[in-house]
Structure 1
């Protein structure tokens, strides 16, 4: 096969799966809403199950659900028949995946759900299959052509199941009111954890925050800037609110023989850009780097009062991009 033929195959596969995804989106109905509502209210976990390629997809769906605030676990149907059914309780819900809906290994799990009243959600292409008939809720996947037509190896079908699992996880996330802060709890490490850090996680607060009063002289401001090593000092009014800040740029603009004797109020930048301590670190970085004038420090304020100072180096060290 030539490289050009390989490229044509790749495009054909992607377009077939794209068509299948379109059919899937169009096929969803109020059953999907009912499933989200039921999963939102369960006290236990979402037990995801499947065999073969459907099992791999079920594992991924369980991981996605768990990472977005819906406790979930993969249970292999064969292991379930040899003792792992004890992991499933009436407080749980079972999401069973099978393209045909006739996967025999799911039989014991389906019977267990019926016996103990555990909700069973079937995800299958088989509208008249055993799984479809046993399910309390049915997620019917369009029986779109597999991308590998010659062998009918699971390709399009697994893509559709994966997408349907993602749709379920995101819909459930939004129904639960799950926030970026909640998400961060489950993703503390790596680039994603860094992006979900807040200004409050990284800022310099308390005695490490460089601040000075508005009546101070620039000689005192320079001492505070040098002592804290963050390249600026905040100017705090008598009511405790941030009135301005003096940066290295302000020093250069006002450089002269009398600079050290000037009041900081005459040199400071008034109404500097600020953020909340709850602002995402990634958003703070965008504020610092947006527009033609870049800034390297941001004060975090609460009710107008400085709570901490964030330096761009803090963001870079944390891996925020």
Structure 2
């Protein structure tokens, strides 16, 4: 028995199913996004419900929505009749999952949900089902067959529901302008959250570890201070401590080839003027793009008056796990 071949067949069947569902996307998807967004903007929530395997998928969809700033809860279709229906409020958006569209527990809920005048979005494989007929918006996940060799166990159908749920969450995220820093606020406990919340001021080297000189200072003075502080750049400032240039170890090596007496030169004559800088209050993750796009090794940190307050060496990114 070719076990790897059988596994690949499952992959193929499920990917084929996703392509089929992708082609079924229509204006109802756009309407669903509008309904979900309006609920969030009105300080309401998204209520996701389903039974069995659909229920498991519903929990993941709700978790993804919540983690991306769209407050969502899971309504147990059975417990709903024993008090849990109280979690549904007017103005909430309901997402009901049932591949057949004829799940008894879900259908029993529909009249009660309608009474609350909530918007009902159904995710189903049967657009002519009872659930679909009683929904405000129907999102089809109709597939040709399950990946199960018996065509019985929910496999391709649940994958289609999961991916459609991800599509709802990600499109809603983009439409609302949800950003990295927003994501970090909802994931403060993980490494990702901690790193995304870091500010430039949290990772920069302080002025005490830098070489800062005015433009009249000689290159040889910078060299001496480099050895003492073990840094590879001098930030050149004016009397108000505003940045006017930078001179790096690489600059020294390149200039020495043509001028062995460069040590006697004033920094103002050999420095790179108007160097790239970053504000101290910016998010640290933005520094990655600056280093990548400009191919530099040292980045000067300034305050709102363009006064030097720190320095970031490219090696610092690895130390703070930003790479």
TM-score (norm. length: structure 1): 0.83
Shifted more, 36-45 versus 225-234: the winner is 225-234
Shifted more, 228-237 versus 69-78: the winner is 228-237
Following the alignment from structure 1 to structure 2, what is the Cα–Cα distance between the partners of residues 224 and 72? 57
Aligned to 1:263: 266
Tell me: CA distance 1:131–1:201, structure 2 relative to 1, closer, same or farther (3 Å).
farther
Aligned to 1:320: 322
Unaligned runs of 5+ residues in structure 2 are: none
Shifted more, 129-138 versus 181-190: the winner is 181-190
Shift of 1:281: 4.6
Tell me: CA distance 1:57–1:201, structure 2 relative to 1, closer, same or farther (3 Å).
farther
Q: In the alignment, is the contact (CA less than 8 A) between 1:93 and 1:121 conserved in 2?
A: yes
Shift of 1:181: 2.4
Following the alignment from structure 2 to structure 1, what is the Cα–Cα distance between the partners of residues 93 and 309? 45
Aligned to 2:84: 84
Aligned to 2:237: 236
Aligned to 1:23: 20
Shift of 1:266: 3.2
Shift of 1:258: 6.2
Aligned to 1:96: 96
Following the alignment from structure 2 to structure 1, what is the Cα–Cα distance between the partners of residues 228 and 100? 70
Deviation by residue 1:215-246 (Cα, 9 ceiling, x = unmatched): 23346545765676543221124676532212
Q: In the alignment, is the contact (CA less than 8 A) between 1:191 and 1:320 conserved in 2?
A: no
Tell me: CA distance 1:289–1:141, structure 2 relative to 1, closer, same or farther (3 Å).
closer
1:127 and 2:130 correspond: no
Following the alignment from structure 1 to structure 2, what is the Cα–Cα distance between the partners of residues 201 and 108? 54
Aligned to 2:137: 137
1:36 and 2:33 correspond: yes
Q: In the alignment, is the contact (CA less than 8 A) between 1:297 and 1:309 conserved in 2?
A: yes
Tell me: CA distance 1:171–1:277, structure 2 relative to 1, closer, same or farther (3 Å).
farther
Shifted more, 264-273 versus 66-75: the winner is 264-273
Shift of 1:161: 0.6
Q: In the alignment, is the contact (CA less than 8 A) between 2:99 and 2:123 conserved in 1?
A: yes
1:310 and 2:307 correspond: no
Q: In the alignment, is the contact (CA less than 8 A) between 1:61 and 1:162 conserved in 2?
A: yes
Unaligned runs of 5+ residues in structure 1 are: none
Aligned to 2:173: 173
* Count of residue pairs the alignment pairs up: 316
TM-score (norm. length: structure 2): 0.83
Aligned to 1:246: 247
Shift of 1:58: 0.9
Q: Does the residue aligned with 1:74 lie in a helix, a strand or coil? A: strand
Shift of 1:162: 0.9
Q: Does the residue aligned with 2:78 lie in a helix, a strand or coil? A: helix
Following the alignment from structure 1 to structure 2, what is the Cα–Cα distance between the partners of residues 112 and 225? 74
Shift of 1:37: 1.0
Following the alignment from structure 1 to structure 2, what is the Cα–Cα distance between the partners of residues 111 and 205? 64
Following the alignment from structure 1 to structure 2, what is the Cα–Cα distance between the partners of residues 130 and 206? 69
Shift of 1:175: 1.2
Tell me: CA distance 1:102–1:71, structure 2 relative to 1, closer, same or farther (3 Å).
same
